[in-house]
């Protein structure tokens, strides 16, 4: 499985058999230009959007005949199993920013979890439904999502083998959120890669948990 970070909360997952999954594609120039990652115009077989905000649901530039998952449910497409679970974008049961979907993606003997714009801690019932996670895509920037401290608690409760931070301030994101350094500071086994992609196989899942920081592709 290859994991590519476009920027913000947008990723492209490519399975060993070539199935392409794009998660939470953003709109270029969203929020009066505050989000300036370049346009996502790749082909996809599956597109998943966690909620209906422009920095997570822009599918118009994505090419190909794809299945669009945007509701809670269980799906199996091209050998990929996907379970979407309901959560909220805030700590007020969605009253401030609405609903949010978590996506549990199983392929190539690996379970990957994308948390979307999670805005709160996860309860035991949701954690039980998620189950064992190999790769966690975790928002860490705060303000619109859980912040570095809350993200650390969520990570520790999920106990993934690999955590990839997302949704934090960069040179292409002018939102009032914090940088990834707020999350990684003081943590062990942090690897900052000089690229936007990370490949993992079921045989090479690390025995000790680690945090992988990617560079945005766009």
Domain ranges of the chain: 2-213
Strands 190-192, 210-213: parallel, antiparallel or unpaired by DSSP?
parallel
Q: In this predicted structure, what is the pLDDT of residue 130?
A: 97
**pLDDT tens digits, one per residue of 72-91:** 999 999 999 999 999 988 88
Q: In this predicted structure, what is the pLDDT of residue 90?
A: 81
- Beta partners for 77? 80
Sign of the torsion formed by the C-alpha atoms of 135, 149, 127 and 56: negative
Q: In this predicted structure, what is the pLDDT of residue 147?
A: 97
SS3 state of residue 20: strand
- Beta partners for 206? none
Q: Is the pTM of this model over 0.85?
A: yes
- Say yes or no: domain 2-213 is CATH 3.30.2000.20: no
**Which parts of the chain have pLDDT scores under 50?**
none
Q: For residues 98 and 110, is the Cβ–Cβ distance under 8 A?
A: no
Q: In this predicted structure, what is the pLDDT of residue 175?
A: 95
Q: What is the DSSP string of the chain?
A: -EEEEEETTEEEEE-TT--EEEESPPPTTTTTTTB-PPP---B-SEEE-SSSSTTT---TT-BSS-EEE-SSEEEEETTEEEEEEEEESSSSTTTTT-EEEEEEEEETTEEEEE-TT--SPPPHHHHHHH---SEEEEE-S-SSS--HHHHHHHHHHH--SEEEEES--BTTB-SS---THHHHTT-SSEEE-SSSEEE--GGG--SS-EEEEPPP--
Q: In this predicted structure, what is the pLDDT of residue 75?
A: 98
């Amino acid at each position: 499985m290859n994991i590519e970070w476009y920027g913000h909360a947008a990723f492209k997952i490519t399975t060993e058999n070539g199935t392409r999954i794009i998660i939470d594609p953003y709109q270029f120039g969203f929020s009066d230009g505050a989000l300036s990652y370049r346009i996502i115009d790749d082909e996809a077989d599956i597109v998943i959007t966690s909620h209906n905000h422009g920095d997570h649901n822009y599918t118009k530039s994505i090419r190909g005949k794809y299945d669009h998952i945007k509701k809670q449910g269980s799906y199996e497409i091209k050998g990929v199993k996907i379970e979407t679970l309901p959560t909220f974008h805030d700590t007020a049961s969605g009253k401030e920013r609405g609903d949010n979907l978590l996506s549990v993606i199983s392929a190539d003997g690996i379970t990957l979890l994308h948390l979307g714009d999670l805005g709160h801690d996860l309860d035991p019932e949701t954690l039980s439904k998620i189950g064992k996670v190999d790769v966690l895509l975790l928002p860490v920037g705060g303000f619109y999502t859980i912040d570095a401290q809350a993200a650390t608690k969520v990570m520790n409760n999920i106990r993934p083998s690999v955590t990839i931070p997302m949704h934090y301030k960069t040179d292409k994101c002018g939102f009032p959120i914090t940088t990834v350094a707020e999350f990684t500071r003081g943590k062990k086994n942090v690897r900052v890669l000089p690229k936007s992609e990370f490949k993992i196989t079921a045989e090479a899942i690390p025995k000790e948990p680690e945090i992988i920081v990617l560079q945005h592709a766009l």
